[in-house]
Structure 1
Amino acid sequence: MTTRRLFTGHLLATSIALSAALGLAPSLAAAQAKLKVAAIYTVPFEQQWVSRIHKALKAAEARGEIEYKASENVANADYERVMREYIAAGNQLIVGEVFGVEAAARKVAKDFPKVQFLMGSSGKPQAPNFSVFDNYIQEPAYLTGMIAGGMTKTNKIGMVGGFPIPEVNRLMHAFMAGAKEVNPKVEFTVTFINSWFDPPKAKEATLAMIDKGADVLYAERFGVSDAAKEKGKLAIGNVINTQPQYPDTVVASALWHMEPSIDRAIKLVKEGKFTAEDYGPYSMMKHKGSELSPLGTFEKKVPADLVAKVRAREAEILSGKFTVKVDDSQPKSTAK
């Protein structure tokens, strides 16, 4: 070994020792300290529900808190295999949605008790390491229902959902209750397309509703707002704000923010305090997990008295004076 290489080695060692003495972790140690997180999605990243989880994880990655890897469009049959591959790669927190693969995902969690899991699920937490979450955004969904009930001129509202599971049902029921509060005459046509991502099918279902008189459409799925735009009708968004893409169509949306849940999970894993729990409540308005979107381009198009009613109800929800009922049963059409 040359004198120069010896000197360089001593210099590096001295530098690391000095950094440690000053409480400054070397960059290598800092990189190793990052929590390794993997997410597994059965739909594309841009699908509205998954996009909120992906966005929250990308934000944590941008802050330098985690090392983040993700797979999209994973078939249910491949889900368990992908989970095990990410675990074998050293990931400490696995995130995803397991509605169609509950048994397989929970089996993996049992096989790896030292790995932590935060999964979108209709089921309960599974000790010691399998937490569940859900988009409990029924509160802003109720508020958007109030807006829809006040904006319809035909008193006919069309609703297109993915699957009639609790995660969808509770939002639809809340929306319907909000609409009924301001407009007892309103009628609903409810359709499920049995897919989480099939915009053409959702559009087709919506066009059929419009043909029967619906002039406000609840866009639980992508494709609904396209039909509403094409026919000059109004739409109410869900989970994400699509008004920028449909400025003359989407009046308002019930927004979901996954950051409170993701940030909590990351913090607890790092502290060694992660346990099996239900993260659903962290999607509620009081935790900033959801909100009513700004009216934006419809600021002056929604009647002032209707806006006042919505704001009053919103304040009551935030203060705890008003509770939006959670109804997970399948909603039914009421239109004759």
Structure 2
Amino acid sequence: MRRLGDLARVASLLAIFAMLLAACGSTGGTGGTTSGSSSNTSSSTQNAKKVALVTDIGGVNDNGFNHLSYTGYSKAKAQYGFTEKVIQTQSQNDYVTNLTLAAQSSDLVIAVGFLMNNAIDQVAKQFPNKKFAIVDGCATAAGASNCETLPNVAPLSFKEQEAGCLVGAIAGQMEVDGKDKISKLLGKNTVGVVGGLSIPPVDRYIAGFKYCIKKVDPSVNVLVNYSQDFTNPAKCKDAALSQINQHQADIIFQVAGGCGVGALDAADQKGVFGIGVDADQGYLHASVLTSAMKRVDTAVYDTIKDFEDGKFTNNPPKFDLAHDGVGYAPISKDVPADAKQKAEDFANQIKSGALVPPENIQ
């Protein structure tokens, strides 16, 4: 009997000790490894905000706006710790499917590209409790031409015409300087522009470029051709070669994403100059004078930050020169000081409101 009593006392002490351990574990302290913290960890995981990125067909290695989008996304991921979910689109027919997959597993979906306007309109309406943002576009119903204002869709737009203006100012001043000062110029006072598709972001770049190059040199001949493609470099190379061989264009501005790399290749092979787009493309060839830059990485990062901070808005401001949303890349050694100064003068005028480059090609 005494032995049973001793065992009972031991069992009672063990029970009390276990209760004390459980009580300590349930305090939710900073230890992080106690069993009592598991419910808090589960709750935290369930409440974590998930963010997905759906690229356009160029993919994250396009060295353009898809890559920049991924850069901004990666910066936000490192800061907020969400699990990466990046869907790279292979065909325009996959837009709806990819956005739907992203929305099913994420709280915020970022679509990259104007061509997803209809798809994001459709998917955002199917998932009204999820948030969406679209680079270069807006929610547009099928068959419509105007943007819809949906409470859960943020259109991320840029004043590309301002970036186009600045590189146009550089090109214009170089044409004014002429062959006597810049020996690589062909001397025909002609420049070429190779666009991808005639969509608003592309046309805004071209509008600003053409407007400002003619403000510097009203007599310059500006050739504009569209490749009808954003991914095939051969098409843009053919367009640029035609401008160079047939019209002696000595500066080629590419506004065609991955396709436009072919235009810069053509310019380099023919011994003339190129101007890149979206990101700094000076690494491609020494003949690239500069690039019209669109800071998509900033837009994507800021959008995710606002979402994480509970400040998501379906009416974000346009990303412009005054707010470091657009600009131009570092210039090459072939750009004379007066051309660099012309770009700076135009930049100051844009920021002050004295110069307003147009959105539409004139």
Which TM-score band (shorter chain)? 0.7 to 0.9
Match of 1:151 in 2: 174
Bigger radius of gyration among the two: 2
Q: Which amino acid aligns with 1:14?
A: G
**Which residue matches 2:339?**
306
Q: Is the 8 A contact 2:76 2:301 kept in 1?
A: yes
CA distance in 2, matches of 1:126, 1:99: 16
CA contact (8 A) 2:99 2:111 kept: no
Amino acid at match of 1:218: F
For this pair of structures, how many residues does the alignment match?
A: 315
2:30 pairs with 1:19: yes
State the shift of 1:67 in Å: 2.9
CA distance in 2, matches of 1:27, 1:240: 40
Of 283, 289, 294, which residue of structure 2 is paired with 1:256? 294
- Which of 31, 47, 50 aligns to 1:36? It is 50
Decide which of 214, 223, 227 is 2:249's aligned counterpart: 214
What does residue 325 of structure 1 align with?
Answer: 358
In the alignment, the residues of structure 2 paired with residue 245 and residue 72 of structure 1 have an alpha-carbon distance, to the nearest angstrom, of 24
CA displacement at 1:128 relative to structure 2: 1.3
Aligned residue for 2:8? none
**Structure 1 pair 262/125, CA: closer, same or farther in 2 (3 Å)?**
farther
Alignment of 1:137-148 (within 5 A): 137-148=160-171
Contact kept, 8 Å, 1:259 with 1:289, in 2: the verdict is no
CA distance in structure 2 between the partners assigned to 1:50 and 1:270 by the alignment: 22
Residues 263-317 of structure 1: CA distance to partner in whole angstroms, max 9, x if unpaired? 33223323444232255x1x2111211122121x32xx32322322221221222
Partners of 1:31 and 1:206 lie apart in 2 by 52
Amino acid at match of 1:36: K
For normalisation by structure 1, the TM-score amounts to: 0.84
Provide the residue aligned with 1:227 in structure 2. Answer: 266
Distance 1:148 1:100, change over 3 A: same
CA contact (8 A) 2:243 2:249 kept: yes
Q: How does 1:1-336 map to 2 (within 5 A)?
A: 10=21, 14=25, 17-19=28-30, 34-43=48-57, 44-47=59-62, 48-89=64-105, 91-97=106-112, 99-120=114-135, 121=137, 123=140, 124-152=147-175, 153-212=187-246, 213-220=248-255, 221-246=260-285, 248-279=286-317, 281=318, 283-295=319-331, 297-298=332-333, 301-327=334-360
2:335 aligned partner, one-letter code: V
SS in 1 for 2:191: strand
Contact (CA 8 Å) 1:197, 1:222: kept in 2 or not? no
**Aligned AA (1:94):** V
**1:100 aligned counterpart, secondary structure:** helix
Aligned partners of 2:234 and 2:262 also within 8 Å: yes
Indicate if the aligned counterparts of 1:119 and 1:133 stay in contact, CA closer than 8 A: yes
Cα distance 1:13–1:285, how it changes in 2: closer, same or farther (>3 A)? Answer: farther
Gaps of 5+ in 2: 1-13, 141-146, 176-186
Q: 1:243 to 1:29 in 2, by over 3 A?
A: farther
Q: CA deviation at 1:125?
A: 4.8
Residue type matched to 1:202 in 2? C
Runs of 4+ off more than 4 Å? 9-13, 24-34
Partner Cα distance (2:22, 2:209) in 1:
66
**Which amino acid is 1:216 matched to?**
I
Contact kept, 8 Å, 1:40 with 1:74, in 2: the verdict is: no
Distance 2:42 2:205 in 1: 46
What is the SS of the residue equivalent to 1:67?
A: coil
CA shift, 1:79, in A, is 1.8
Q: C-alpha distance in 2, partners of 1:260/1:11? A: 47
Root mean square deviation, CA, Å: 2.9
